[in-house]
Structure 1
Amino acid sequence: MEKNSLVRESIKSVIKKNFSIILLMIFIIFAFVISSLLPPQILRYIIDNNLAPRNNEGLLLLAYLYMGAIFLIGLFDLAKETLLTIIGQKITKEVRMKMMEKLEKINAMFFSKNESGKIVSNFTNDVDAINSMFTSVIIGMIIDCFKIIGVVVSIWLFSVKLGIIAVLLLPIIYYITRFFQKRMLKAQIDNLVSVSKVNNHISESVKNIRMIKLFSKESYMESNYNEYLVDNYETIERVTFYDSIFSPIILVIRSLIIALIVILSSEQLNFLGVSVGMIAASIELISNLFTPIENLGMELQNIQQSISGIYRVNEFYEISEDAKDSVDLTNILGSNNLSLSFNNVTFNYEDDKNVLENIDFKIKPLERITFVGRTGVGKSTLFKLAMGLLKPSKGSITINGINVYNIPNSEKRKIFGYVDQSFPMLSGTVAEQISLKDNSVTFEQVKESLDFVGLTDYIKTLENGYNTEVKKDNLFSQGQKQLLAIARAIVTNPPILLLDEITASLDSITEEKIITVLQKASQNHSILTISHRLSSMISSDKIIILENGKIKNSGTPETLLKSDDWYRNHIELEKLTWN
């Protein structure tokens, strides 16, 4: 992928689809710049032809023309901003859609190595920076440059000497503006950092208030808070100082320039040789030089931030994708006669350390397998591999001979049902918690899955039953959430269920109810279970013990109870603990 290809192609696509809007915007930009130069010209004419010779003929018409020019400036400015907003939103949508398409193709390992905040920042801050660059920044720079050129040319036509003065003023105004802008920006950034520290300290204090009081750390926290407040006060003082002196300095410079023009145009010197109307128009035009120059300074500053955003977005878009072979799923989808095979699978997140090594086993249709082992031996990673979310470093995982990694994500819900310890709620109704707003899942399927896990009676007591909006996290208990998670997993009737420590945080009564539901589910599904407490797992056909990323032992519960010391000791320890 070539550098900047995503942004470039997105811009091309937006221009191609909205060519007429682009042409209209170009016309309006030129009209806006030209109309902004009209009022000083009309003012010059009024003064030289009407006010100076005291001639009232046509004065009312000129006044209307002057007001009309001001109105046109406002009208073209409104149209310009409207079209820029439309184009900017189209660019933002195009870039984010391409990024989302990319996100769906990236290997799940990417999310293990990168924080979610960084990815969110790519989609929000960086894309907004690109939007700003190709709308307000670049267009703003073009407009400001045309304004400056127009002002200088207009003044030059009045008097070459005035034109030279205007040209000499440009670098002076620019460097003074940039001097203050840089310092104001640094002070504002420092202020944001200090405000962040204050807010974080408040949040941390509230969150840990019990611990602070328990260990008598009030004075320590107060001392830190006072330090952050002082720092925040100093940064605000700097921001206020630069902000307060910048405008007066610009006003003083503008006044000095106006005074200089008036003196040079006086009867005593008559250095410029221009009329009174030209002097008035030149003063207004030179006054208009300050705003575009100030804007240029900020735009040059913003363009650097936008370029960084473009770089980060394209860096995201250049993340490599694993090529997936096309597969025929005809004999898999809708069938319960599926066997899952791990074929000498090795996997590592880092090149030098294997999480799993030479994992080799086969799960027959409707077989129940439980994976046990100490924390960190790779049980959850094994599940991610089984569902094709991660790609093995070596070996393969297949279902009836088809590599699971090549199965499209859109089809995996029909094959795998995954239940975790947590149940992430989404915005929507109770029914939508199960269907996940998937149109292929019918309301009847939702009702059947909820009835299967035994939640129908409770849901009927809710205000709107299945259509009750889930707005409060306390609408369901922790045990009910786990039952909802099971209903969500089985609603598409997948042949394989994967259960990851789903009873770890539940009380014994709720745990027993969930185990009963799972025992019922095991009659029609192959079930893979990760269980920390062996005494709480559903009855299994086989238990696989993992140790240091390898299969240490496997067999039926009865066989392992006789032959494996670790398994037997673990069972006995749990019995002592619970008794």
Structure 2
Amino acid sequence: MMSTIKKSVFKVIKSNIWTIILLVFVICGVVVLSLIPPQILKNIIDQSLVPKKFDKLLTFAFAYIGILFLIGVFNFFKEAIITILGLKITKEIRSEMIKKLERINAMFFSTNSSGTVVSRFTNDVDAINSLFTSGIVGMIVDCFKIIGIVISIWMFSSKLGIVTLLLLPAIYSITRAFQKRMLKAQIENRILVGKVNNHISESLKNVQMIKSYSKEDYMEENYTKYLLENYKTVEKVNFYDSVYSPIIQLIRAAVISFIVVLSSKQLNYLGISLGMVAASIELISNLFAPIESLGMELQNIQQAISGIKRVNDFFDEPEDDFKKNELRAENIIPKGEDVILSFNDITFQYEEGLDIIQNINLVLKQNEKVTFVGRTGVGKTTLFKLIMGLLKPTKGSITINGIDVYDIPNSEKRKIFGYVDQSFHIIKGTVGDQISLQDESITREQIEEVIDFVGLTEYVASLENGLDTMVDSDTLFSQGQKQLLAIARAIVTNPPILLLDEITANLDSIIEEKIVSVLQKTRDAHTILSISHRLSSMIASDTVVILEDGKVKNVGSPEVLLENDEWYRSHITLEKLTWS
């Protein structure tokens, strides 16, 4: 099966066939034209300067300048075409990647951080782009240039051609040795620059804590350490850069001197004219540039291959199973019918052989209030992801009125589930957009109703443009107001099921009490599933489910559990002592 990257490349080539033909023509033009100036120089010396016949000198001069101008024009078009094609290939690959991201299984995001995913879209795709810009095409051009130069020199003198062939591996080996060391130093430098920048960011972010705990000296010492390490890597790069150029110049000077000596009247070993000597010197000088470029191009190709592997791995990630697009929220939960949420012997594992959730069987009725409790890491948040159909159980199923939640299209889930977690993610847009998430099916009237429901009407009205105020800063709303906005976002579509994931974990008791009172108003209209970190302060529950090691340890009403579950009773007692 052809990889997505190959398909993207072939798609760009197919739709830009005339551009590709023009690129081939321009490349051939660059290679051929670059070999002409030394030949003109040979004729200038042998036909005009040595015999002192200057009648053709002006013609040769104009021809020399004209060829150099044409080389510049052809090089311009070559670079322009390569850049355009590279950008089109990059665009095509990134377009396919974003389509893949929309289909990819939610498990992927459990094991890959956002930074890793962004790196696939940026660094890895840029590396692939370099394969088609400064990689393969550049290598082909440089190889043809080297072949052309060697052939031209061989035509002047087979002996000089042999010298040139012997020179090639020596120059290439020296170039690659320096390039490898420079690359290693540059990679180290990029890592250390990242550490320096991260240290500055962390220092600014936590400046109050640093001052409170008198850690200025500690932060300064670390910063100085990173700067010193970074300085050393920059020194390495500069050292290799400064040493490489003189070495190449010395080799070039030695080779030119060698050619001049062998061509002298005393030796006349090469048996070539003065014009041929001058042309050979220019060709030899021109030989160093493509060899140096060839080393860099091989380096770019190596980086691109690793980029291709990582991007291909991304495309190979498992996708969500096919969703039954004909399923609609109104058909799953017909108006006036009760909502029955069933957990049918579900087991789930992120890694094979390691169960996070084990054999859970529950049936939750219409408007039932259920709180899931347990120690950190017992699988509460994972259970919520399974309920919303973001993850698929390894075994068993979760159903709403007999329909598997995993089969429900994502476009319908907001009408069924309202999800609130500990953090409120601001999007680019107005205050109203924070509620609707720019869903055109949600009316302004609905937004105003939920804003009023959560008690933010007065504050929103005080903003410059009310609901139409652009939210371009986290400071526009306090932490408590953000949590109220999160509730408004969850209930604006009036979903029958609300999922509350430790929503008061980062709030003080006063704000927590306000949010709990807002949620109490939703009791009669929703089935509410909550994860609580403080058992005694959450919404009054009909049922409490105690989880332990991914299993249901106990289920019952709060009153029953107070009597027969020691863990629940001890936590309630402890919290009362803590908050009293």
TM-score under structure 1 normalisation?
A: 0.90
Cα distance change, pair 515–187 in 1 and its aligned pair in 2 (3 A): closer
Give secondary structure in 2 for the equivalent of 1:62. helix
- Match of residue 319 from structure 2: 321
Q: 2:302 aligns with which of 301, 304, 311?
A: 304
Cα distance change, pair 486–10 in 1 and its aligned pair in 2 (3 A): same
Q: Which whole-Å CA distance do the structure 1 matches of 2:59 and 2:444 have between them? A: 72
**Deviating more after overlay: 477-486 vs 116-125:** 116-125
**Deviating more after overlay: 489-498 vs 245-254:** 489-498
Cα distance change, pair 217–521 in 1 and its aligned pair in 2 (3 A): closer
- Give yes or no for contact 1:127–1:313 (8 Å, CA) kept in 2: yes
Matched letter for residue 270 of structure 1: N
- Match of residue 146 from structure 1: 144
Matched letter for residue 75 of structure 1: V
Q: Are 1:432 and 2:433 counterparts?
A: yes
Cα distance change, pair 216–540 in 1 and its aligned pair in 2 (3 A): closer
Matched letter for residue 266 of structure 1: S
- Match of residue 459 from structure 2: 458
- Match of residue 292 from structure 2: 294
**Deviating more after overlay: 562-571 vs 485-494:** 562-571
Q: Are 1:383 and 2:381 counterparts?
A: no
Cα distance change, pair 90–474 in 1 and its aligned pair in 2 (3 A): same
Shift of 1:253: 1.3
Cα distance change, pair 8–276 in 1 and its aligned pair in 2 (3 A): same
- Give yes or no for contact 1:336–1:365 (8 Å, CA) kept in 2: no
Deviations 1:385-422 (A, max 9, x none): 10011111221001122211122223322221110011
- Give yes or no for contact 1:327–1:402 (8 Å, CA) kept in 2: no
- Match of residue 332 from structure 2: 332
Shift of 1:485: 0.7
Q: Which whole-Å CA distance do the structure 1 matches of 2:440 and 2:107 have between them? A: 29
Q: Which whole-Å CA distance do the structure 1 matches of 2:352 and 2:147 have between them? A: 59
The residue correspondences of 1:557-576 to structure 2 (distance < 5 A) are: 557-576=558-577
Shift of 1:108: 2.1
- Match of residue 115 from structure 1: 113
**Deviating more after overlay: 303-312 vs 59-68:** 59-68
- Match of residue 85 from structure 1: 83
- Give yes or no for contact 2:546–2:553 (8 Å, CA) kept in 1: yes
Cα distance change, pair 519–481 in 1 and its aligned pair in 2 (3 A): same
Deviations 1:493-545 (A, max 9, x none): 32221111112222333223322322233333322112222332223333323
- Give yes or no for contact 1:336–1:525 (8 Å, CA) kept in 2: no
- Give yes or no for contact 1:339–1:364 (8 Å, CA) kept in 2: yes
Q: Which whole-Å CA distance do the structure 2 matches of 1:435 and 1:61 have between them? A: 75
The residue correspondences of 1:31-430 to structure 2 (distance < 5 A) are: 31-193=29-191, 195=193, 231-321=229-319, 323-324=321-322, 326=324, 328-330=326-328, 331-332=331-332, 335=335, 337=337, 338-430=339-431
Q: Which whole-Å CA distance do the structure 2 matches of 1:25 and 1:388 have between them? A: 50
Q: Which whole-Å CA distance do the structure 2 matches of 1:194 and 1:313 have between them? A: 25
Shift of 1:295: 1.0
Q: Which whole-Å CA distance do the structure 2 matches of 1:145 and 1:383 have between them? A: 59
- Give yes or no for contact 1:342–1:362 (8 Å, CA) kept in 2: yes
- Match of residue 492 from structure 1: 493
Q: Which whole-Å CA distance do the structure 1 matches of 2:74 and 2:141 have between them? A: 12
Matched letter for residue 459 of structure 2: Y
Matched letter for residue 425 of structure 1: I
Shift of 1:424: 1.4
Q: Which whole-Å CA distance do the structure 2 matches of 1:444 and 1:334 have between them? A: 24
- Match of residue 503 from structure 1: 504
**Deviating more after overlay: 415-424 vs 359-368:** 359-368
Shift of 1:296: 0.9
Give secondary structure in 1 for the equivalent of 2:504. coil
Where in structure 2 are there 5+ consecutive unaligned residues? none
- Match of residue 523 from structure 1: 524
Give secondary structure in 2 for the equivalent of 1:535. coil
Shift of 1:367: 2.8
Give secondary structure in 1 for the equivalent of 2:268. coil
Shift of 1:293: 0.4
Matched letter for residue 550 of structure 1: K
Deviations 1:358-408 (A, max 9, x none): 211122333322222333332211111100111112210011222111222
Q: Which whole-Å CA distance do the structure 1 matches of 2:102 and 2:158 have between them? A: 62
Matched letter for residue 349 of structure 1: Y
Give secondary structure in 2 for the equivalent of 1:497. strand
Matched letter for residue 430 of structure 1: V
Shift of 1:246: 1.2
Q: Which whole-Å CA distance do the structure 1 matches of 2:24 and 2:463 have between them? A: 58
Give secondary structure in 2 for the equivalent of 1:437. coil
Q: Which whole-Å CA distance do the structure 1 matches of 2:455 and 2:444 have between them? A: 17
Shift of 1:282: 1.9
Shift of 1:142: 0.4
Matched letter for residue 32 of structure 1: V
Q: Which whole-Å CA distance do the structure 1 matches of 2:424 and 2:211 have between them? A: 34
Matched letter for residue 379 of structure 2: G
Cα distance change, pair 434–19 in 1 and its aligned pair in 2 (3 A): farther
- Match of residue 18 from structure 2: 20
Cα distance change, pair 548–169 in 1 and its aligned pair in 2 (3 A): closer
- Match of residue 481 from structure 1: 482
Cα distance change, pair 515–267 in 1 and its aligned pair in 2 (3 A): same
Q: Are 1:534 and 2:518 counterparts?
A: no
Shift of 1:480: 0.5
Percent of pairs with identical residues: 65
**Deviating more after overlay: 378-387 vs 363-372:** 363-372
- Give yes or no for contact 2:45–2:274 (8 Å, CA) kept in 1: yes
Matched letter for residue 89 of structure 1: L
Q: Which whole-Å CA distance do the structure 1 matches of 2:530 and 2:510 have between them? A: 20
Deviations 1:235-268 (A, max 9, x none): 4433333221211111111112222222233333
Q: CA-atom RMSD, angstroms?
A: 2.9
- Give yes or no for contact 2:368–2:542 (8 Å, CA) kept in 1: yes
Q: 1:30 aligns with which of 15, 28, 31?
A: 28
Matched letter for residue 273 of structure 1: G
Deviations 1:322-349 (A, max 9, x none): 5335363141277574322111112233
Deviations 1:436-471 (A, max 9, x none): 234444444433332332223212222232232222
**Deviating more after overlay: 86-95 vs 58-67:** 58-67
Cα distance change, pair 483–86 in 1 and its aligned pair in 2 (3 A): same
